[in-house]
């Protein structure tokens, strides 16, 4: 039987540091849980530009199309700010999403018990929080045409186009409803149907998909700005939130702070089902490349490690191992170990990136 395959793209900034800790975790599972992958590694973002002059080489793109899953660290950094837009590190990430057709970005926001006091919200508001934001990720304003900066009269104008087709909305809505059936059977769809035609279409298509194929799932609609307010007021009212590319980007970052830190949030971006019955998939932490702390051992590796846990669950059918890894992280946090982003007034034991990874390895062995 062919071994499952994984392409690792550490990227820029803290990406290589947090990915080093993920590799330790993978090695532990190889040694202790009869788990083995064919692993390849490549460059993306600024690292790819430095080596090849492009943010993603065609050979790396071809490998990403062939493997069972891609695990990415982070891209970007100030040294690339002056590059032409087409060469910026983020274009490598967007190319992966677009050409792999990864249309459903799953961003969980879960508050570990040990961090309930660390959130900027009151403990009773976030304790036990477990929501999932499903963000459409291959269309919308980030990809719509026309786009660019143009001369108009005696000044420049910047144009980005919000565009959605019925089929694009339909498929991400189905992903959200299917996911809800495995959770608490509740979906809230967020858009701006009050001021945007794309929002009107979004609401109509989501409602149609629900009425025809998922009437057992509770569906509600909410304007995205009101949704942001409600996430801060009482986030536990939600289970699965489905929304477009732009609003999903904003809402998931807002949800990140409910959990205490961007360094805690993983994500999975899923696409069409392949011949092996699994979806094309890329997994990555929600946080960026954090160039201000790169190389200092201050980065929190948990979001990237949790992204690997999502890969175990969604791409490799190893849910038991994913849960074991998540429980190990919960144990380490309960013991009070904290990377700098998690150090608050309540204190804790300060640890480096590598020390957090080693502690998780120790907890896996218990």
Question: Which residues are part of the catalytic machinery?
Answer: 142, 192, 225, 249, 253
Asked if 298 contacts 339 with a C-beta cutoff of 8 angstroms, the reply is yes
* 194, 196, 198, 204 alpha-carbon torsion, rounded to 10°: 10
Q: Which long-range contacts (CB under 8 A, 24 or more apart) does 153-159 make?
A: none
Strand (E) positions, the chain?
A: 5-11, 38-41, 69-74, 104-110, 130-136, 144-152, 155-161, 186-191, 218-223, 240-243, 268-273, 279-283, 337-338, 349-350
* DSSP annotation string for 11-72: ESTTHHHHHHHHHHHHHHHHHHSS---EEEE---THHHHHHHSSSS-HHHHHHHHHSSEEEE
Rounded-to-integer distance, Cα 279 and Cα 268, Å: 11
Q: Which of 41, 179, 45 is nearest to 107 (CA)?
A: 179
Omega before 146 cis (within 30°)? yes
Hey, is 186 helix, strand or coil?
strand
């Amino acid at each position: 039987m062919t071994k499952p395959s994984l392409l690792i793209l550490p990227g820029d900034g803290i990406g290589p540091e947090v990915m080093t800790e993920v590799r330790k975790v993978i090695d532990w599972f190889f040694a202790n849980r009869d788990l083995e992958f064919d692993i390849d590694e490549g460059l993306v973002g600024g690292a790819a530009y430095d080596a090849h002059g492009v943010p993603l080489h065609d050979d790396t793109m071809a490998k990403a199309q062939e493997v069972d899953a891609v695990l990415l660290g982070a891209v970007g950094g100030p040294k690339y700010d002056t590059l032409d837009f087409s060469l910026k590190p983020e274009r490598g990430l967007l190319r992966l999403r677009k050409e792999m057709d990864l249309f459903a970005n799953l961003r969980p926001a879960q508050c570990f018990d040990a961090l309930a006091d660390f959130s900027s919200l009151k403990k009773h508001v976030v304790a036990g929080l477990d929501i999932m934001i499903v963000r459409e990720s291959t269309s919308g304003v980030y990809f719509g045409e026309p786009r660019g900066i143009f001369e108009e009269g005696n000044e420049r104008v910047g144009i980005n186009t919000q565009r959605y087709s019925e089929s694009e909305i339909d498929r991400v809505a189905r992903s959200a409803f299917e996911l809800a059936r495995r959770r608490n059977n509740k979906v809230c769809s967020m858009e701006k149907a009050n001021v945007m035609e794309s929002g009107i279409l979004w609401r109509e298509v989501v409602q149609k998909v629900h009425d025809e194929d998922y009437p057992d799932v509770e569906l509600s609609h909410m304007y995205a700005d009101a949704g942001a307010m409600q996430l801060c007021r009482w986030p536990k009212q939600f289970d699965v939130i489905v929304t477009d590319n732009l609003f999903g980007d904003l809402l998931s970052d807002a949800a990140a702070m409910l959990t205490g830190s961007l360094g805690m949030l993983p994500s999975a971006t899923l696409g069409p089902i392949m011949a092996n019955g699994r979806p094309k998939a890329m997994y990555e932490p929600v946080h960026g490349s954090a160039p201000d702390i790169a190389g200092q051992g201050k980065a929190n590796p948990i979001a990237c490690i949790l992204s690997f846990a999502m890969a175990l669950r969604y791409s490799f059918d190893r849910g038991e191992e994913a849960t074991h890894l998540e429980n190990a992280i919960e144990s380490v946090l309960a013991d009070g170990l904290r990377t700098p982003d998690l150090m608050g007034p309540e204190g804790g034991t300060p640890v480096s990136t590598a020390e957090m990874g080693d502690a998780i390895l120790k907890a896996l062995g218990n």
